[in-house]
Amino acid sequence: MCAVPAPRVRPRLRGVAEGRPRLQTRESFCHSTVLLMGQRSGRQERSKKPEMSLSENMKAEEEDDREENKELKTKDQRLPLVFGVADLKNGAVGLYNVGQTCCLNSLLQVFLMNIHFTRILRRITVPPYASLKRNNVPYQMLLLLEKMQSGKQKAVSPIDLAMCLSTHRVNMFIQHDAAQLFLTLWNLVKRQMKDQDLVTKLSDLYTICVQEHLACQICSSEMKRNSNMLTLPLPVLDSNSHMLKTLEDCLQCFFHPEELTGHNMCFCEYCDKKTPFLQSMKLVHLPQTLTIHLKRFCFERSTNVYKLSHCLPFPQELDFNAVLTEQQSQAHGSEKAAWRYEIFAVVAHSGSTNSGHYCAYIRSLTECKWYCFNDSTVCQVSWDDVKCTYGHSDLNWGQTAYLLIYMKKHPQ
């Protein structure tokens, strides 16, 4: 049966304001403090059954869990045999839009097409009870992976995972910001993994480490601290609000020292007052899977949010050693030697800040072919098609790259 295309909707885009374009100040880097998005919606229906005592209620829930566990037992036994969507054994599989879930669908495709992520996902501990399984994000992602791999459908429904996310305050029926939803999904997966070895592997797969330097311009005292990030948030405007022309320019701008003056001054313990500081960033560590967030959404002092759609090319291969100077890195030679990447996926946004749509362009790691995942519609594309996401100032509804996912190249 042919896949029914998702209805064309132009949902509200929420959570896209990211700072004034004039300054493009750096944001907080600690991923452990990421807030969950969305709110619970709808009313709870009152039960028509007579109220039970606490012990009776617990027994009833345990009985329900046992019944549901019987139904899931066979499926759970099959889970270790899942090879992963990235192998594309039955062709690329789409995801139906079940309520403005184009953002979620795009991110799920990026996660599940990453064989390094699915290797970790396939090793999770299956929750013991049905109620726990329903609310466990990594387990529901694993079920979706199995469903996409084992069937012959051109598209499947992510409704079970979407309902699971709604219990964690990630609502359906609203449009999410892809960068924020990526952080939310990753944190939920990490939080619900019981095996600490897998948690470590997940962190190693995605975590970026930078060293922040703050130098007082009066007494020359210096403070250093290491910060971990899941995405590298790159400005697309420089400090004078000029449009940056390439991804390499954005990287240089992010790691370029910034003067903190006026109300941006910091308190100096040695001067015992607020003083001008020089802030700089040094790159310490890059992971296997590198996620770059292009800060396309900005707001002015009037709080009007707008999208920066100008053309910003990004390369197929990216060598950080050729982009950053010696002063912009704080790493050993063996670490820096591995800072060579090739593009793996692009999450693109079309539309404006008020309405829009997400899709994902992903390169199969086994076939080395590019696919466009647009909800339930999946088609093979070329690199020239991917380059159409560079952006164009005159095409407000055109596709614009928002998240870039690079994969570390293996040494020859």
Name the residues annotated as catalytic.
102, 357
Token pair 């992602």 in the structure block, residue: 141
The single residue listed with the structure tokens 């795009």 is 106
- Three-class secondary structure of residue 234 per DSSP: strand
Strands 258-260 and 232-235: unpaired
Q: Is residue 329 a contact partner of residue 282, using CB atoms and an 8 Å limit?
A: yes
Query: Across the strands, what pairs with 89?
Result: none
Alpha-carbon distance of 176 to 179, in angstroms, equals 9
3-state secondary structure of 294: strand
Q: Are 27 and 233 in contact (CB under 8 A)?
A: yes
| 112 φ, ψ (degrees, to nearest 5) | -80, -15
List phi, psi (to 5°) of 345.
Answer: -155, 155
The Cβ of residue 176 has, within 10 Å, a number of other Cβ atoms equal to: 27
Run of H or E residues at 284: strand 277-285
